[in-house]
A = this chain, B = another copy of it.
Amino acid sequence: MGTTRVGVIGARGRMGVQAVRAITAADDLELAAEVGSADPLSVLTDAGAQVVVEFTRPDAVLENVRWCVERGLHVVTGTTGFTPERLDVVRGWLAAAPGVGVAVVPNFALGAVLMMRFAELAARWFESVEIVELHHPQKVDAPSGTARLTAERIAAARASAGLGDLPDATTDEVQGARGATIDGIPVHAVRARGLVAHQEVLFGGAGETLTIRHDSFDRVSFMPGLLLAVRRVADRPGLTVGLDPLLDA
């Protein structure tokens, strides 16, 4: 089995630098090209890249994806800002490029992806569930995107299983803590110096609780998931959203 040639767009950014390092260290991958903001994308085709890793900005990513898809290059992107409408645009391009795969991955941490998957699997078996997400105090959004997505997937699994509202007898209440109720699932948002990115999903049934917790300490945790996506995106033509479907590829 030969190696796969990989190009990186956004190679000088925080994630791009990590990506270059991880690809270089992987035996089955070969770093073909590094594209900075001043470089033309043609560097990628000139270097014979087969898969392109894209870490740029919301205002640049779409054009980069289009360019790659039109030239038959598979793409793995971790850039944010993919609304449903933007995903549809990408689907349109892919319809005209059979065999090309694009993976849009909001979270490359395998632990986070598994946490969400397990939370979805557990949801139907427990009467109660709440989420506590904990982050550093520089974070501007609350609850976190991962927590919202987890809540949505749990809520959908509960609905499929015919579960109703969570039990809650609260009548005497003072309000105002950071956090929200997403699709009926309470999500508590803790912000404290010293924290990085953490999330706990607590399920409760009569006499027992099941807790699934993910702790992320460092951006390096995204690299195994990135490499997994790079290795599998070519075998999964069309659009893939999230790392989850790639785990079973």
Cβ of A36 within 8 Å of any chain B Cβ, yes or no, is: no
Whether A118 is near chain B, meaning CB under 8 Å from some CB there, is yes
Option from B139, B187, B209 in Cβ contact (under 8 Å) with A194: B209
Instruction: Tell me if A194 and B221 are in contact (CB < 8 A).
Output: yes
A190 within 8 A of B: yes
Contacts A176-B180, A178-B170; is A206 near B221 (CB within 8 Å)? Answer: yes
A156 touches B (CB below 8 Å): no
Does A220 touch B at the CB level, under 8 Å?
yes
Q: What are 25 A-B contacts defined by CB distance under 8 Å?
A: A110-B126, A110-B208, A111-B205, A112-B208, A114-B210, A127-B193, A128-B191, A128-B194, A134-B202, A141-B171, A143-B174, A166-B191, A173-B180, A174-B180, A174-B182, A176-B181, A177-B178, A177-B188, A177-B189, A178-B179, A186-B190, A192-B202, A194-B204, A194-B217, A205-B221
Q: Within 8 Å of chain B (Cβ to Cβ): is A196?
A: yes
Is A172 interfacial (CB-CB < 8 Å)? yes
* A224 with B206: CB separation less than 8 A: yes
Choose one: B134, B138, B172, B187; the contact of A177 (CB below 8 Å).
Answer: B187
Docked-complex contact B210 and A213, CB < 8 angstroms: yes
Smallest CB-CB separation from A134: which chain B residue?
B202
Q: Give Cα A174 to B174, complex, Å.
A: 17
Closest to A170 in B: B142
Query: Using a CB-CB cutoff of 8 Å, which residues 33-85 of chain A contact chain B?
Result: none
A111 touches B193 (CB 8 A): no
Q: Is A218 an interface residue (CB 8 A)?
A: yes
Q: Which bucket holds chain A's interface residue count? A: 35 or more
Chain A 218-234: CB-based contact to B (< 8 A → 1; otherwise 0): 11111110000000000
Contact check, A208 vs B109: say whether CB atoms are below 8 A apart.
yes
A172 (CB) vs chain B CBs: closest residue: B141
Q: Assess whether A194 is in contact with B207, with CB atoms less than 8 Å apart.
A: yes
A167-B193, A194-B128 are known contacts. Are A206 and B182 too (CB-CB below 8 A)? no
User: Is A160 engaged at the interface, CB distance under 8 Å to the other chain?
Assistant: no
A122 contacts partner chain B, Cβ-Cβ < 8 Å:
yes
- Whether A211 is near chain B, meaning CB under 8 Å from some CB there, is yes
